[in-house]
Structure 1
Amino acid sequence: MCGIAGIQSQSDLPDTDLLLRMMTALSHRGPDGSGYYRDESVALGHTRLAIIDPGLGVQPMCGEREDVWVTFNGEIFNYVELRAQLADRGHDFRTHSDTEVIVHAWEEWGPGCFERFNGQWALAIWDRRTSELVLCRDRLGVRPLYHASAGDRLVFASEVKALFADPQVVRGLDPLGLDQVFTFWSAVAPRTVFAGVSQVRPGTYVVCRDGVVGEPQTFWQPTFPERGGGSSDDLDAHAGQLRERLIHATRLRFERSDFPVGAYLSGGIDSAVTAGIIREFTDADLHTFSLRFADAEYDEGEHQATMARRLGTSHRDVVVSHRDIGEVFPEVVRHAETPLLRTAPAPMFLLSRLVRDSGYKVVVTGEGSDEVLAGYDIFREARVREFWARDPGAPQRARAIELLYPWLGRNPNQAPAFARGFFGRNLDPADLALSHRPRWDSTSSLKAMLAGGWSEGVSDAAADLVGRMPAEASGWDGLSRAQWLEMSTLLPGYILASQGDRMLMANSVEGRFPFLDADVIELAGRLPARQKILGLDEKHLLKRAFRDLLPPEIVARPKQPYRAPDASGFVGVDAPDWVADVTSPEAVDAAGVFKPVVVRSLLEKARRSRGRALSHTDSMRVSAVLSVQLLHEQFMGHGHARVLARPPHPTAVFDLVDSQRSTAWR
């Protein structure tokens, strides 16, 4: 895991001082070393979190002919197998790193190498033979990669703050990006919330020539069978295949590291499965880490303890209070680089800090299971809405809603009329986004807070996204469509970014995700929908595949999504000082995003209830206002002038322009 940055210039030599400033902004992603490469038109920078081959795996890295260079963030987990294939084809290796495999794979297969990689990556390849800079991102967007034009040059980096090290990159919020956040919870690649800043779409690469970014080329996208189709109906055979692939994926992520690897234990089935695999199928001394809450409504400590005892792990946890969330939220927003509609990333930030303080810099987690194997409530909601759409007069309609939210204290069953109205809207069976309409409509109500001008000329975000769905989606079943939408919005933009990569890397910790293994995704994509959700039993196949590893109470436990206290950490006697600062009339006017009277009224309402009796929508409004105001202050206001860490002293410099600055290949 690392941070990457670079410059492609049309005219002047790439500026090494600018590159070093960009690398400095990424120092938290790579505290173990740094290096850069420069020639007449391109500069590549790298800050390193050493995981594999710490002695020789320095970057940027080239092949023996020194005409292909790479700077790389992530892991290629099947690099051992690819290395053997490439060696058989005559390639010589001088390291045991996965980075060098990327170089030779590009030399051998060109862009075809990306579909051979099983891993999580964001990378830049500079091919001097063709004068092409290639930017690529993994299948589902585990690792981030941004780019922007700055005068006559292109700059790219793992995080936006590194792009803003270039004074020619415009700083401003993008109305279309904000509109997407206030619909889907995140901007959808290539859009970001920053004007003029784009991100590489997951599963694609772009070729840049003379500082101009070409059209994205797709090497992977989610695919699903035709309605009623899929693999054979043999449930036990599919469970066996899933078990085999997930065991292999987990072992790859646990064993291919030159440093100890820990595991998250949430109390749910996903992390229980991955931790159980590690205990059962490796010889490792398993160390697990959990997130707990001082507020019992959100705490899953009992279930975490059950699984830790079952596995016999060395277990640590961090207990997070409302006040803790309020105190760290500004730092969380600075790392997330996007508005947040929930505070859930803040506890994840504190959990990764515990991991790092415990001496670990790699953890295996259960993220991705809900999207790949259909675990979210939205998929069960989709089942109910499809049923309603097919048979509007069915007497079982009301009963179906009662089964959706057994874990939620304020669930729809307590207001049957509201539930019928909420889930019964827009029941068009031909709508490709039937599953997500209630969620998107509810979130879109946040846009009423926007000041004049922010919604003018903004296209319909939902319509734009549905228009990007593959042509074959019309033949998919409703669950497959819902999975495609979730994999295109919430997963890369929020789960893997705001709650995942950004909160982990803020503390220099790498997360590894077995459920997002290429072979696991391929199998899950061709499974019949009825095997993922059997009736309304989510992730049925996963439970069947691993019931021998899990306590019965974990298997039988209803799905409880990860949640954290929201507005209560920002109001009351323990309210942090920064809340008043960023929501003052002057600060709200300076940002110009929200109507000041709406902000004032919302915060007064939150204070009266001490943040505990707010509706889910009002809680989202509070988080949205505070995070947007923080984002403006940190990236466009006085906060952007903050002093960064000391510039790195590169341990590896390959400067073809100034030979006196170069260091020899180690």
Structure 2
Amino acid sequence: MCGITGFLGSTVSTDAAAPLLKSMTVALCHRGPDEKGVYTAPGVGLGHARLSVVGLADGKQPMAAANGDLVISYNGEVFNYVELRERLQARGRRFLTTSDTEVILHLYDEMGTACLDELNGDFAFALWDARRQNLWLARDRIGVRPLYYTEIRGTLFFASEIKAFMAAPGFAAELDPVALDQIFTLWAPIAPRTAFKGVRELPPGHMMIAQGSSRTVSQWWRMEFPRDGEFKTPERPVEQLGELLEDATRIRLRADVPVGAYLSGGLDSSLITALAARVAPGRLETFSVGFRSPEHDESLWQAEVAEKLGVQNHQVRCGEDEIAAEFPTIIAHTECPVLRTAPAPLYQLASIVRANGMKVVLTGEGADEIFAGYDIFQEAAVRRFCARQPGSTRRPLLFRRLYPYLPQLQHQSVDYLARFFSTGGDGLTDPLFSHRPRMRSTAAAKLFYSPDLKYTLGDYDAAADLAAQLPGDFRRWHPLNQAQYLEARFLLPGYILSSQGDRVMMAHGVEGRFPFLDHRVIAFAAGLQPELKMRGLREKFILKEAARGLVPDTVVNRPKQPFRAPDSQAFSTPAARASTETVLSEGALAETGLFNSAMVERLKVKAINGRATSFKDNTAFMGILSAQLWHKVFVTDQPNRTETK
């Protein structure tokens, strides 16, 4: 992976173009520490910070076609570039490099923007077509690689990260209040909106054609499901899934540098590690996070899998002090307020990958979305059952199956869960039915909004905004598929692959690769009968069947444990209290004007005394703290504030 930057517009003079691009690209040097390059022509410029993974000697960017008419700055990997290159050569195409970048140039020259359908990969790129005098921006199907853009005085600027725009004259960071409200409802902004007012994200599976002052954004791919009742299950679904995953893993091992793997101890990363160990020559190196707090630690599971598979595992130990100390840096990289500290240990994990001389790892992200592994899918099924059969005596049994990790479900707990799962029963036709409880719990943080922020937002409804963006045939899908779409289309790229993925990995120049997000795997899983993904309340049924014999049965059969890290409790330690007090001081809160200082003070006291233990308190505290840190990093601490564009 790499970092890309650039502009299209006449307001940047010829003399200023190269220095501006260099400044923008330097801001992304953590993404590409190996090489930097720029390309300029009248009214257009491309910049590139390179992480050398494929075509080490001849893959420098921006890269031009042989005749100079096409120039590309590209971030990511096309994993089927070997096969595409062979096809192109068979048609008489001559290659000057061994890189996958040149494959895109040749494909575009032959097929135009339709070439995207041929690419199996994770990518975001900008391609300047001098013949047509237009700039083409494109982003991969699921949104693994980021791409942002903004307009400043009629000139289009784009980059892999928003911080690159800080170098552009006339840019000033300002928090978008609507984006904040979306985060405090949905955990992430709804693309194309970002936390920065006036900055847009090119949504996953979308492209833009920019020519002169024209900007045309269109969707080139979307996640689709059959209509409910129209599923066509293959004859050998388990075997076919295993073959697909093995090939998805095999092509993601293509690199001119060593490739490692993340190993959490759960099913998803263990299966990918097992497949990689079987396919890759030599001994695979893996990397894990261990926590000092026993309730978060999975070290025993990691050790069991590593021993079973014969891999060399490296572990970083993470505690509350490290999380609190790193959190401001995390916000600088995520460029967005977050509701969890989970990115912090993953930031540390990427650091040990790089410290061990590696810069590419396979990970298990995507499996929970594609194969229905999250609690939210099971909870939605139980809520539907409770709504349709409110008097059923099976409810306690369902609760115990749903929450096997709770040591004892007392009578009071069953009563509470019965009330929880009965709420919203009148909204079975609500397209957001599966996610309403999460939204309600998260939205409790909005109670801390300042009067000014409440006035600014008016009657804005983030959930209604999300519902309005759902595809037209959404209601014809099975309820499980509807819930999967909400996770995969919004939270996966908006938070999991960004704040917990690309941003914290690329902060150390580490590229993540995701076999479960191969578009062939996504399409295969989408077409399966829902019962093959969630059988009763057994999550990821078909994936577990495919994993048998490859990973230990204890891992296959264990209940899912979501990746969690200490949240508000990390800021209750003596080392963290002073900085927390400063960021949440009355003066700092008055500067942002986002939150009610008296209410935040009471929450802060609870947090630093270790009493903000409920989900709602934790979510509110982390959201407020990260929003305040965002303002400090991108507004208060910026040395040269300019007028807002």
TM-score, scaled to structure 2: 0.96
Q: Report the equivalent of 2:472.
A: 471
The within-5 A match list for 1:203-282 is 203-214=205-216, 216-232=217-233, 234=235, 237-254=236-253, 256-282=254-280
Q: Report the equivalent of 2:319.
A: 321
The within-5 A match list for 1:366-385 is 366-385=364-383
The within-5 A match list for 1:193-212 is 193-212=195-214
Write the deviation string for residues 389-435 of structure 1: whole angstroms up to 9, x where unpaired.
33333332343222212235798986233322322221222111111
**2:480 is equivalent to residue 482 of structure 1:** no
> Which has the larger displacement, 386-395 or 491-500?
386-395
Per-residue deviation, 1:555: 0.9
CA distance in 2, matches of 1:422, 1:131: 58
Structure 2 SS opposite 1:489: helix
Q: Report the equivalent of 1:590.
A: 591
Asked if the contact 2:142/2:204 (under 8 Å) is kept, the reply is: yes
CA distance in 1, matches of 2:500, 2:484: 19
Per-residue deviation, 1:450: 1.1
CA shift in 2, pair 1:641/1:309, >3 Å: farther
Structure 2 SS opposite 1:575: helix
Structure 2 SS opposite 1:574: helix
Q: Report the equivalent of 1:407.
A: 405
CA shift in 2, pair 1:473/1:120, >3 Å: same
Write the deviation string for residues 56-107 of structure 1: whole angstroms up to 9, x where unpaired.
0000012111111110010000111111222223322100101111111111
Asked if the contact 2:223/2:489 (under 8 Å) is kept, the reply is: no
Write the deviation string for residues 485-516 of structure 1: whole angstroms up to 9, x where unpaired.
00122100111000000010011100000000
Q: Report the equivalent of 1:78.
A: 80
CA distance in 2, matches of 1:65, 1:273: 45
> Which has the larger displacement, 203-212 or 106-115?
203-212
**2:538 is equivalent to residue 537 of structure 1:** yes
CA distance in 1, matches of 2:230, 2:166: 48
Q: Report the equivalent of 1:337.
A: 335
Write the deviation string for residues 524-549 of structure 1: whole angstroms up to 9, x where unpaired.
11111110011111111011112011
| Matching residue within 118, 121, 145 for 1:119 | 121
**% identity of equivalent residues:** 44
CA shift in 2, pair 1:458/1:114, >3 Å: farther
CA shift in 2, pair 1:449/1:583, >3 Å: same
Q: Report the equivalent of 2:418.
A: 420
Q: Report the equivalent of 1:650.
A: none
- Opposite residue 208 of structure 1, the aligned amino acid is A
Q: Report the equivalent of 1:459.
A: 460
- Opposite residue 357 of structure 1, the aligned amino acid is A
Structure 2 SS opposite 1:415: helix
Q: Report the equivalent of 1:637.
A: 636
**2:578 is equivalent to residue 580 of structure 1:** no
Per-residue deviation, 1:603: 0.7
Asked if the contact 1:19/1:43 (under 8 Å) is kept, the reply is: yes
Q: Report the equivalent of 2:147.
A: 145
Q: Report the equivalent of 2:520.
A: 519
CA distance in 2, matches of 1:372, 1:28: 31
Structure 1 SS opposite 2:434: coil
Q: Report the equivalent of 1:554.
A: 555
Instruction: Specify every segment of 5 or more residues in structure 2 that has no aligned partner in the other structure, as ranges.
Output: none
Per-residue deviation, 1:576: 5.2
The within-5 A match list for 1:60-209 is 60-209=62-211
- Opposite residue 605 of structure 1, the aligned amino acid is K
Per-residue deviation, 1:444: 1.1
CA distance in 1, matches of 2:411, 2:504: 35
Q: Report the equivalent of 2:441.
A: 442
Structure 1 SS opposite 2:624: helix
CA shift in 2, pair 1:12/1:47, >3 Å: closer
CA distance in 2, matches of 1:458, 1:27: 42
CA distance in 1, matches of 2:563, 2:405: 11
CA shift in 2, pair 1:622/1:410, >3 Å: farther
Per-residue deviation, 1:177: 0.6
Q: Report the equivalent of 1:287.
A: 285
Instruction: Specify every segment of 5 or more residues in structure 1 that has no aligned partner in the other structure, as ranges.
Output: 643-666
Per-residue deviation, 1:224: 0.7
CA shift in 2, pair 1:411/1:262, >3 Å: farther
> Which has the larger displacement, 188-197 or 385-394?
385-394
CA shift in 2, pair 1:542/1:164, >3 Å: same
Structure 2 SS opposite 1:333: helix
CA distance in 1, matches of 2:473, 2:49: 42
CA shift in 2, pair 1:561/1:410, >3 Å: farther
Per-residue deviation, 1:598: 1.4
TM-score, scaled to structure 1: 0.93
CA shift in 2, pair 1:360/1:414, >3 Å: farther
Per-residue deviation, 1:473: 1.3
Asked if the contact 2:547/2:556 (under 8 Å) is kept, the reply is: no
Structure 2 SS opposite 1:288: strand
Q: Report the equivalent of 1:13.
A: 13
> Which has the larger displacement, 564-573 or 44-53?
564-573
Structure 1 SS opposite 2:150: strand
Asked if the contact 1:326/1:576 (under 8 Å) is kept, the reply is: no
CA distance in 1, matches of 2:490, 2:184: 12
Q: Report the equivalent of 2:353.
A: 355
Structure 2 SS opposite 1:272: helix
CA distance in 2, matches of 1:572, 1:540: 41
Asked if the contact 1:291/1:348 (under 8 Å) is kept, the reply is: yes
Structure 2 SS opposite 1:436: helix
CA distance in 2, matches of 1:88, 1:495: 40
- Opposite residue 275 of structure 1, the aligned amino acid is T
- Opposite residue 95 of structure 2, the aligned amino acid is F
Asked if the contact 2:442/2:620 (under 8 Å) is kept, the reply is: no
Per-residue deviation, 1:282: 2.7
**2:567 is equivalent to residue 566 of structure 1:** yes
Per-residue deviation, 1:445: 1.2
CA shift in 2, pair 1:244/1:558, >3 Å: same
Write the deviation string for residues 319-357 of structure 1: whole angstroms up to 9, x where unpaired.
101111011011111001110100000000000001110
CA shift in 2, pair 1:498/1:458, >3 Å: farther
CA distance in 1, matches of 2:112, 2:158: 21
CA distance in 2, matches of 1:114, 1:22: 27
CA shift in 2, pair 1:20/1:63, >3 Å: same
Structure 1 SS opposite 2:595: coil
Asked if the contact 2:338/2:622 (under 8 Å) is kept, the reply is: yes
> Which has the larger displacement, 575-584 or 28-37?
575-584
Asked if the contact 1:386/1:478 (under 8 Å) is kept, the reply is: no
CA shift in 2, pair 1:11/1:412, >3 Å: farther
CA shift in 2, pair 1:567/1:481, >3 Å: same
Asked if the contact 1:26/1:47 (under 8 Å) is kept, the reply is: yes
Q: Report the equivalent of 1:48.
A: 50
CA shift in 2, pair 1:484/1:94, >3 Å: same
CA distance in 1, matches of 2:257, 2:432: 44
